[in-house]
Amino acid sequence: MTKAHIITYGCQMNEYDSHLVESQLVSLGLDMVDNVDAADFVLVNTCAVRGKPVDKVRTVLGDLRKQKHSRGLVVGMMGCLAQLEEGQQIARKFEVDVLLGTGSLLDIGEALSSNGRFWNLAFKDEIHDHIPPPPQGKLQAHLTIMRGCDHHCTYCIVPTTRGPQVSRTPESILRELHMQLEAGVQEVTLLGQNVNAYGIDQGRRVPGIPSFAELLRLVGDTGVKRIKFTTSHPMNFTEDVVLAMRDTPAVCDFIHLPVQSGSSRVLRRMAREYSRETYLGHVETIKKHLPNAVLSTDIIVGFPGETEADFQETLSLYDEVGYDSAFMFIYSARPGTPSYRHFEDLPREVKTERLQRLIEKQKEWSARKNAAYVGRHVEVLLRGDAYDANFLEGHTRGNHPIVVPKAVGATGAGIYTARIEHATPHTMYGKLLGLDGQVLPELPRFNPEAAALSAPLPML
């Protein structure tokens, strides 16, 4: 095998894990290629949180099995689904050669050097200290600060697939961050199943590990321009985190705080360990110290036993908080979870109808929130070309997607200032500004020669 390709499904942590394994493959002498057809080895990084990504894995493994028989392709599977009996049955059915659990990613070399099927699903008691090389040519990077979760929400498979919480040492985190900064990274997102609980593993404070609020201040002292984090659990959300955000300029005023339901009764069935009132208290604390904070959330619609009255409480909570955006999902029963074993699912048509109403609510609030930015000057991180080569796409410090025309001195990735000209519920549209606050002349039709001739604009 000389060429490899990784297919990634799921969350940002899966993206980070794929980068970690990719670095291992490169160190073994394999070349990473952009498509399956050019690869000798294809590794599928899987998600098991909902049924849809599992169905996608079945489909892709079916296609890969055909290539396995026709041209000798070696097929691997990793990630959360690999850790479950359901995933192992799928791996047997589709003749997967390499199966790596979430705690065994560094064993990829041993797996490829074996002559037969290699399966390793062992959990590790402590987080590995292997640091992948920083992403090249990118302004953004993910940085895992912990793995696993000590909560046991009745709908969630994560404690089974990723094990109990293990916090990474601040020394290791900062060492990786400094490598990212040297590579040109300007925005880092700290990752964990529950970042607020960083340093408190299995209910005990880990010696030598600071609190999450203290970690935010340490990361902010490195000179990184932007810091984000995900995901927060309301049970562990504390005022000192908000104060650290307020006092650390690099931390973006963006908080993703999953509520899952606006009904305290449903939250108890979910075993979320907080009530509607507790959650709203956190929101009040955020707005007190960070009045311009951008709030997003996760909401599960149609959890077993959810009544219309419960759903109305979710709608009213949405209005009370005024979220800028939300990830909304129909409840998906996952084998191995308490809710799958003990609760009766609601009819799909009921869940779908409620989801549509919630989506309409989200669109109303997102449109209202985004419209308030029209005419304002905002800092934007541009990643590169948008849907049209004459435009750039990126996001604000509040994580709002934004599209701007390419302009003289600004034709690629970087951090700039933009004036918002128009906004929809999902995207903002703006004009790039120079250091004097004036709109930069747009390139009438972008081409490489025009970009090369344009004077570079000093970035913020």
Q: What is the CA radius of gyration of the chain?
A: 23
Burial class of residue 308 in the structure, from the number of CB atoms within 10 Å of its CB (0-12 exposed, 13-18 middle, 19+ buried):
exposed
Our measurement of the distance from residue 408's CA atom to the centroid of its chain's CA atoms, rounded to an integer in Å, reads 33
For the chain, how many residues are written?
460
Q: CA–CA separation, 17 vs 14, rounded Å?
A: 5
Contact assessment for residue 407 and residue 432, using Cβ atoms and an 8 Å cutoff: yes
Look-up of token digits 């590794």: 43
Q: CA–CA separation, 349 vs 332, rounded Å?
A: 13
Residue 98 has φ and ψ, to the nearest 5°, of -125, 125
Q: CA–CA separation, 30 vs 47, rounded Å?
A: 25
Q: CA–CA separation, 276 vs 263, rounded Å?
A: 6
Residue 262 has φ and ψ, to the nearest 5°, of -90, 0
Our measurement of the distance from residue 37's CA atom to the centroid of its chain's CA atoms, rounded to an integer in Å, reads 28
One DSSP character per residue, 91-149 reads HHHTT-SEEE-TT-GGGHHHHHHSSS-EEE-PPPSS-----PPPPSS-SEEEEE-EE--
To the question of whether residue 252 is assigned a binding role by annotation, the answer is no
Instruction: List Cα–Cα distances, 299 to 8, 255, 264, in angstroms.
Output: 24, 15, 13
To the question of whether residue 149 is assigned a binding role by annotation, the answer is yes
Q: CA–CA separation, 456 vs 419, rounded Å?
A: 19
Q: CA–CA separation, 261 vs 231, rounded Å?
A: 16
At a CB cut-off of 8 Å and minimum separation 6, what does 211 contact?
Answer: 198, 199, 240
Residue type for 117, please?
A: R
Lookup: tokens for 264: 């305290």
Q: How many CA atoms lie within 13 A of 270 on its CB side?
A: 25
Q: CA–CA separation, 7 vs 60, rounded Å?
A: 9
Q: Which residues belong to the annotated binding site?
A: 11, 47, 80, 149, 153, 156
Q: Which residues belong to the annotated binding site for [4Fe-4S] cluster?
A: 11, 47, 80, 149, 153, 156
